Amino acid sequence: MAEIILKTLAHTYSANPQSPDDYAIRHMEHVWHQGGAYALLGPSGCGKSTLLNIISGLLEPSEGDVLFDGQRVNELPPEERNIAQVFQFPVIYDTMTVFDNLAFPLRNMNTPEHRVKNKVLDVADILDLTELLKRKAKGLTADEKQKVSMGRGLVRDDVSAILFDEPLTVIDPQLKWKLRRKLKEIHQRFNITMIYVTHDQLEASTFADKIAVMYEGQMVQFGTPQELFETPAHTFVGYFIGSPGMNLFAVRYEAGEAWFGDIALTLPSKVTRAIAQASSRNIKVGIRPEFITVHANPREGALVARKRRLQDLGTYAILTFELGNELFKARLPEDHAAYGDEVYLEFEPEHIGLYIDEYRVGVPCE
């Protein structure tokens, strides 16, 4: 069993760090609960692999602590942590058979051979590898090799967490969904904490119950896929999750209104009030493309924008519009109206988010 706690964690690869930019992991506090299916999602270079390597013990953090079930493990090597790690590229022994590859971690621990056999057969069955047990690993396809790699993590009874570092990168697209489903099955069957690193939001939301979004070495939100979509806690989450991402308008308060450039935005009065009271000048209003209603004809209170592009995508359409020399998007139903050069926009008030210094702030009710 393992509850993994990260306490005031930070990591730098620099011998002489001068600024937050020198840190691959900037201050992080987090709890991975026992038995959870988690994804660690973020763009290239945000620190995902660094964090995973700190958890598995391949890296010792520069600052802070890693606790497994309350015990500090900072200096414990990977083999003493009861954690398995599956990498982008399968780590297996090509000259051994599939059976011997799967048996390897158990034989390493001097497990009696009858138990090795039972466990290997069991895991091979789960991963659909039974037919391949006598084959040399060398001749396997990439997805078969990756399954063997996963199986080596699963055979050990003492493994309490499996860390996956973009494990489907080398897998053909049509096989990816199969392996993802397999992982879900494995998670349901064994009570194992799984942390799955990816930069693909679809992969994250199909695998995980909860997703940790990383950005510039920080965990900017930890929540269900629905929470990340409906209430992004940081502008980056708004932009990164969803297709297309959230529209963000840099605004300021003047003469009783919220202005985006020289355009007065029609916002709920509580949002305008919160903008007026903000102490920072970095204020943004966010609205997802799904929550903008687009009219073909003028109507009171609607924003006037220029239509730039309309893409029909089968069951929905994406309208790109221009407002204050910037481009934004709205998602339209299949049976949308025909539009002229100008469109008239309304934002669904309950889906408007307010971001100060890039973080979402709650807007007090009226």
Binding site residues, ligand ATP, CB under 6 A: 13, 24, 42, 44-50, 199
Contact 120, 99 (CB under 8 A): yes
Measured from the CB atom, the residue of 200 and 290 that comes closer to ligand ATP is 200
CA-closest candidate to residue 119, choices 163, 155, 67: 155
CB 24, min distance to ligand ATP, A: 3
Measured from the CB atom, the residue of 13 and 29 that comes closer to ligand ATP is 13
CB 48, min distance to ligand ATP, A: 4
CB 58, min distance to ligand ATP, A: 11
Measured from the CB atom, the residue of 46 and 183 that comes closer to ligand ATP is 46
Rg of the chain on CA atoms, in Å: 25
- How far from 172 is each of 141, 144, 149, 164, 198, CA to CA, in Å? 10, 11, 16, 17, 16
Measured from the CB atom, the residue of 42 and 151 that comes closer to ligand ATP is 42
Q: Residue 243: phi, psi to the nearest 5?
A: -145, 105
Measured from the CB atom, the residue of 154 and 213 that comes closer to ligand ATP is 213
**C-beta atoms surrounding 321 within 10 Å:** 24
Measured from the CB atom, the residue of 19 and 325 that comes closer to ligand ATP is 19
CB 72, min distance to ligand ATP, A: 22
Query: What's the N-to-C CA distance of the chain in angstroms?
Result: 47
Measured from the CB atom, the residue of 36 and 47 that comes closer to ligand ATP is 47
CB 40, min distance to ligand ATP, A: 9
The kind and range of the H/E element at 117 are helix 113-126
Checking DSSP bridges between strand 83-86 and strand 161-165, what pairing results, if any?
A: parallel
Percentages (nearest 5) of helix, strand, coil residues in the chain: 30, 35, 35
Q: Which two tokens stand for residue 67?
A: 């606790």
Contact 355, 287 (CB under 8 A): no
Measured from the CB atom, the residue of 197 and 332 that comes closer to ligand ATP is 197
CB 240, min distance to ligand ATP, A: 13
Measured from the CB atom, the residue of 8 and 13 that comes closer to ligand ATP is 13
CB 47, min distance to ligand ATP, A: 4
CA-closest candidate to residue 78, choices 173, 162, 175: 162
CB 284, min distance to ligand ATP, A: 25
Burial 143-174 (b: 16+ CB within 10 A, else e): bbbbbbbbbbbbbbeebbbbbbbbbbeebeee
Measured from the CB atom, the residue of 13 and 108 that comes closer to ligand ATP is 13
CB 45, min distance to ligand ATP, A: 4
Give the separation between CA 313 and CA 244, rounded to whole angstroms. Answer: 13
Q: How many residues appear in the chain?
A: 366
Contact 302, 345 (CB under 8 A): yes
CB 92, min distance to ligand ATP, A: 21
Contact 238, 245 (CB under 8 A): yes
Give the separation between CA 231 and CA 61, rounded to whole angstroms. Answer: 31
